[in-house]
Amino acid sequence: MSVHRCCSSQAANRSWTKNASRGFTLTFEADVIASSTAKFGPQLGNSLSEEWRLIDLPAYQGVSSDKGRKAFLKQLEFSSDASRLLEINAKISEELLTLNK
C-alpha cells in the first residue's frame, strides 16, 4: 500500500487527527503543568515577568501579580488521562478559592 493511499483514507485520517490532537494536548499540558501548581507557579510567573521585562513587553507588569495568576489559572482546563490522575483541575480550583479570599 502506498503512503499516499494510506494517508488519504478516511480511517487513517481520523486516526492521525486523533493522535495529533492527543499529542498537542500532552505537549501543551507538559508546557504549563508546573506553572499551574501552587508550589511552582508563582515563581515561574515571576521568571516569566522578568523575561518579558527584558524584552520590554508591557504585559510583564501583570503576569506575576495575583490578578495575573488568577487570570492564567481560570483559562486552564487539563484533559489528558495523566492530568486526571494527578487531579490538576481540582488543585487549580482549590488555588483559585484561596486566591479569591
Locate the domains of the chain by residue range. Answer: 3-99
pLDDT in tens, 86-97: 999 999 999 999
Of 6-10, 34-38, 96-100, the range with the lowest mean pLDDT is: 6-10
Is-above-0.75 flag for pTM?
no
Q: What is the pLDDT of residues 25-84, one digit of tens each?
A: 888 888 899 999 999 999 999 999 999 999 999 888 888 999 999 999 999 999 999 999
Q: What's the gap between Cα 38 and its chain centre?
A: 14
Amino acid in the structure at residue 37: T
What pLDDT score was predicted for residue 16?
A: 52
Q: Looking at residue 27, what is its pLDDT?
A: 86
83 to 28, 49, 61: CA distances (angstroms): 12, 26, 30
DSSP H helical ranges for the chain: 3-8, 10-36, 41-54, 60-63, 66-75, 81-86, 88-99
DSSP-derived 3-state class of residue 92: helix
